[in-house]
């Protein structure tokens, strides 16, 4: 136990706070290691994937971390799905129909009821697993290609950013059709689509394969 003032066996909040403030870690690597394993990727932000040690691979921490992040992402996206759909409606129809935020929310509720607030959330949750797995696998493969035969050397910051950006681009390229389907479902009216496969058939019929990649280039540039 650590005492600053009265040499007692108790630590007050102020003593604990001051100890942490005035005793920072001298190793930046320790801080990064702690941050990486106490942070959950909720799926919305394409950050640099986790870089696990060989011991963590053997212990199975990597897949537990991916599962925990996927579950947290599913809960987070479900809780914020009405706001995500509201954002999409305002982006698409806000200028043309002069919707305010309140009017857009009322429109969503009147047009589809309570369930209508969560339109598109199913596809949004479904794409968590392939997106996370592809990003993790691509990052690990690119990292090994950059390191080459010297696997023991430290991975430089700029190399980590390059590998993370490339992995994000690969994963987004693969799951981008699901992003388009999510947006289509968010903007659809009641009974317009009977399900995901109905939406896929209609999109193929009207726009072909290219329809699944509308807006892909700006999205990819934002990642890179």
User: What is the C-alpha to C-alpha distance for residues 84 and 120, in angstroms, rounded to an integer?
Assistant: 9
For residue 14, tell me if it sits in a domain.
no
- Flag whether 213 is in a domain: yes
Query: What gap in Å lies between CA 178 and CA 123, rounded to an integer?
Result: 7
Residue 24 in any domain: the answer is no
pLDDT for the residue 9: 60
Q: CA 219 to CA 126: how far, in whole Å? A: 19
Assess if residue 218 is contained within a domain: yes
- C-alpha distance from residue 159 to each of 24, 45, 95, 162, 165 (Å): 27, 19, 42, 5, 10
Domain that holds residue 136: 54-223
Kindly write down the DSSP assignment for every residue of 179-197, as one continuous string. HHHHHHHHHPPTTS-SSHH
As a whole number of Å, the CA-based R_g of the chain is 23
178 within domain boundaries: yes
H helices present in the chain, as ranges: 13-22, 28-36, 54-59, 61-97, 101-116, 121-126, 128-147, 157-187, 196-207, 216-223
Report how far residue 186's alpha carbon sits from residue 179's, in angstroms, rounded to the nearest whole number.
11
Residue-level pLDDT at 101: 84
In Å, the largest CA–CA distance within the chain is 78
170, part of any domain: yes
CA 189 to each of CA 19, 38, 90, 108: distance values in angstroms, whole numbers, following the listed order? 57, 41, 15, 9
Start-to-end Cα distance in the chain: 48
In a domain, 33, yes or no: no
Structural domain contains residue 16: no
What CA–CA distance (Å, rounded) separates 133 from 5?
51
At 14 the pLDDT is 77
Q: How far apart are CA 193 and CA 196, in angstroms?
A: 7
Q: What is the pLDDT along the chain (224 residues), one digit of tens a residue?
A: 445 555 566 777 777 777 666 665 555 565 555 555 544 444 455 455 556 666 766 777 767 777 777 788 888 888 988 998 888 888 887 666 667 888 888 888 888 888 888 888 888 888 888 888 888 888 888 888 887 777 677 777 788 888 888 888 888 888 899 989 988 888 887 778 888 888 889 888 888 888 898 888 888 887 76
Distance (Å, whole) CA 22 – CA 47: 30
Q: How many domains does the chain have?
A: 1
- What's 133's domain CATH number? 1.50.40.10
């Amino acid at each position: 136990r650590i005492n600053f003032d009265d040499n007692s066996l108790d630590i007050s909040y102020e003593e604990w706070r001051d100890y942490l403030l005035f005793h920072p870690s001298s190793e930046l690597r320790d801080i990064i290691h702690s941050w990486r394993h106490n942070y959950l990727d909720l799926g919305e932000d394409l950050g640099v994937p986790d870089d696990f040690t060989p011991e963590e691979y053997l212990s199975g921490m990597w897949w537990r971390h991916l599962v925990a992040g996927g579950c947290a992402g599913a809960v987070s996206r479900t809780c914020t799905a009405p706001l995500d759909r509201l954002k999409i409606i305002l982006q698409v129809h806000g200028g043309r129909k002069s919707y305010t935020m309140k009017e857009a929310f009322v429109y969503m509720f009147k047009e589809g009821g309570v369930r209508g607030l969560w339109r598109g959330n199913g596809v949004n949750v479904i794409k968590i697993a392939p997106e996370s797995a592809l990003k993790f696998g691509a990052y690990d493969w690119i990292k090994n290609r950059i390191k080459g035969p010297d696997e023991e050397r430290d991975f430089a910051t700029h190399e980590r950013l390059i590998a993370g950006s490339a992995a994000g681009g690969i994963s987004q390229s693969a799951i981008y059709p699901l992003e388009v389907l999510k947006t289509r479902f968010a903007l659809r009216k009641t009974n317009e689509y009977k399900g995901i496969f109905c939406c896929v058939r209609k999109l193929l019929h009207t726009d072909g394969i290219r329809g699944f990649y509308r807006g892909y280039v700006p999205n990819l540039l934002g990642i890179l």
